[in-house]
Structures are given as C-alpha cells and as structure tokens.
Amino acid sequence: MTTDLAMEMVQRAVLTALLLGLPTLGAALVMGLIMSISQAVTQLQDQTLSFVPKLIVMLAALLYTLPWTLHFLAEYATEMIRDIPSHL
C-alpha cells in the first residue's frame, strides 16, 4: 500500500464520517439556536431546558436518517472491500 493510497482511504473515511454525522449535528445546531433565542426572550437560563429538547431532536434526526445512514455505510463498506484486491 502506498502513501497516496493510504491518504485517499483516510480522506474517504473522514468524509464519510462527516456526511453521516451532519444531519444529527445540524438538527442539534438548529434546535440549540431556537432554544437560545427562546431562553433569551423568556429570560429562563436553566441548562435542562436546552439539553432535553436538543437530545430529543437529535434522537429524532438519528431515527429519521437511519435508513439512509445504513445504506450509505453498506455502500461504503462494499466499495472498500471490493477495492482490496486491486490495491494488493
């Protein structure tokens, strides 16, 4: 295995991880902004008020994107395993 090939494989793995985490992190970001604005308006500064809704939204985003995530991971694993003989 050459250095270029190893770098390409690491780059693909990192990009895959970012793409798979993006929906959940995006949902947490949007919910965090909404909760921050609502806490600023109502002047309620309890940590639980921002944590619990964010957790629920992240769980919902995970469950909603689970079929796509599993399909994407299966395709990625299939491509990586299929490429093994050509890199030996």
CA dist list (Å): 25 to 2, 6, 21 = 34, 28, 6
pTM over 0.75: yes
Contact call for residues 16 and 76 (beta carbons, < 8 A): yes
Mean pLDDT of 67-85: 91
Mean pLDDT of 58-86: 92
Tens digit of each residue's pLDDT (9 = 90 or more) over 11-68? 999 999 999 999 999 999 999 999 889 888 888 777 777 788 899 999 999 999 999 9
Quickly count: other Cβ atoms within 10 Å of residue 77's Cβ: 11
Tens digit of each residue's pLDDT (9 = 90 or more) over 13-27? 999 999 999 999 999
